[in-house]
Chain A
Amino acid sequence: MATSPASRPGDSRPLSAVDSDPAPDLDDLLVRTARGDDQAFAALYDALGASVLGLARRLVRNPARAEEVTQEVFLQVWRTATRFDPDRGRAKTWVLVLAHRRAVDAIRHDQAASDREDAYEWVGSDHDVVSEEVIVNLEHQQVRRCMDGLTELQREAVNLAYYGGYTYPEVAELLDANLATVKTRMRDGLIRLRDCMGVAA
C-alpha cells in the first residue's frame, strides 16, 4: 500500500481506527465506483482490503486462496456496485457481508472437492485444534474483551461459525450440543457482543 495513489490525507484510515463510526466517505466511494470511477474503487480497496483479506485468510487458511477470494470479492463489488444504495446501508457492511459469504462458499466448495478425493482415507478430525486456534490472535482489543465476556459455549459457537465458516449443525456436532441450543447460543452471543461493542441495534 506504500505505492497507493489514493493515500491522500483524510482518505486513508489506519487499521486501528476501525472502531470509530464508519466514515460516510466509504459510501460515497462505493457510489462513485458504481459510475466507473476507478480512483474511488482503489480508495475503497485501500480502506477495506485489509479487513477482507484478513477475514478470508481466517476462513480459508491458505494465503494464496485467501488472496483469490479477496480478488473475487472486490471484482464483485466493482461489477455490482450499482446495486448499493447508501440510503439503506453502509458500504462497509455491504463489502464485509459479501466477503464473509464468498469465503465461506470457497471453504464449502473446496471441502466438497477434497471430500471426494479423501472419501476412502478419512481418519479423524482436527476440529478441536480449529476451535482453539480461532480464539487467539484477535488484534482488536475491544472485540477480544467483548469475546471474553461471552460464556464458553457462546464464544465457541460464534467463533466456529464466523471465523471457522461452519454451519450451525456442524457447530452443534463439534460442540456436542443440540441444534436448538447452538442457535440460541449464537443469538445470545451476538446480543452480548452487540451490547458490549456499543453497536446501535
Chain B
Amino acid sequence: MTVDLHSLIGPYALGALDEDERDAFESHLDACPTCAEELGGFVATTVRLGEAVAEEPPAALRASILAAAAQTPQERPTVVAMRPRSLRKRLPSLIAAAAMIVAAAGVAGYVIEHQQVQEYQAESSNVEQVMTASDAVTTESQLGSASMRLTHSRSQDALVLAVSGLPALDNETYQLWTVRDGVTTSAGLVDDSDLLYVDQVDGVEQLALTVEPAGGSERPTSLPVATMQL
C-alpha cells in the first residue's frame, strides 16, 4: 500500500474508509501523535453532526431494547494478569503494551484509547516499528472469550500478536506456531494478555495456536484452537 496514511484522517473521522484502510489507519494512529491529536477534535465534530439529525424514537423501540438487554449477558472486564513467565522477562514493557492494545481493541474504544497505547509503545522499538510501518495491517478475531489482534508489516518482516481472554490452563500452555509451506515452526509460548513479537515471517501463510504440555513442544501435539491467516 502506498497511500500516505496521514491523509486518511478526514475519511477515517467521517467513517469513509473500507475495513483494510481503517485498520491501516488505526495502526498508524498508534504511532502518529499528530494524527492522534487532531483526530480527537474531528471525532467530537462528527458527534455534533450525528446529534444534529436526532429523531424521537418510537416508544416500542425502547421497550424492545431494554427487554433484549435483560436477556443478553455482558462481557466481563479484561483482567490483566502479569504472570512471571519467560516471555515477560524477555519483553517486560511489551506486556504492558499488550494489555493496552487489548483494552483498545473494539470499535469505538479504539479511537478513545489509542493515545494511551502510544505511550506504552514508545517503550518498545520492535513493536513500535511494526505498528508504525506504513504497510501495517491489523486484523482482529474473536474466539469464544478470547480475542486476538494481529498486526503484520511486510516491510518490517514482522508481526505483533496481542492475545487476551484465553481460558486458564492447568499444567498446559498455549503455544504459537507459524506455518510456512506446510512446515510448522514454534513462535513461542503464549500467556493470556501477552503480546508476541515475531520476526522473519516472510512466506508465513498462517499462525496457529495450540495447547501443549507445560514447557511447550517441539512440534504441535494437538489440533489448533485458533488459526489466523497472514
Instruction: Give chain A's interface residues, CB within 8 Å of chain B.
Output: 1-4, 15, 18-19, 34, 36, 38, 41-42, 45-46, 49-51, 53-55, 57-58, 67, 70-71, 74-76, 78-85, 88-89, 92-101, 104, 137-140, 142-144, 158, 161-163, 165-168, 171, 180, 182-190, 193-194, 197, 199-201
Residue among A1, A2, A42, A95 making CB contact with B108, cutoff 8 Å:
A95
Nearest CB of chain A from residue B58's CB, rounded to whole Å = 7
Chain B residues within CB distance 8 Å of chain A: 7-11, 13-18, 37-38, 40-59, 61-62, 64-66, 68-70, 72-78, 103, 106-109, 111-113, 115-116
Given contacts A53-B55, A199-B48, contact A74 B42 (CB under 8 A): no
Pick from A1, A34, A94, A194: contact of B62, CB below 8 A: A1
Q: Closest Cβ of chain B: how far from A78's Cβ, in Å?
A: 4
- Given A70-B65, A201-B40, are A88 and B18 also a contact pair (CB < 8 Å)? no
A140 touches B51 (CB 8 A): yes
Give A12 to B169 CA distance when docked, in angstroms. 47
Inter-chain CA distance A201–B46, complex, in Å, is 12
B78 to chain A, nearest CB (A): 8
16 contacts between A and B (CB under 8 A): A18-B54, A19-B48, A38-B69, A49-B62, A51-B50, A57-B53, A82-B74, A83-B106, A85-B103, A161-B14, A162-B16, A166-B16, A190-B13, A193-B48, A194-B42, A200-B41
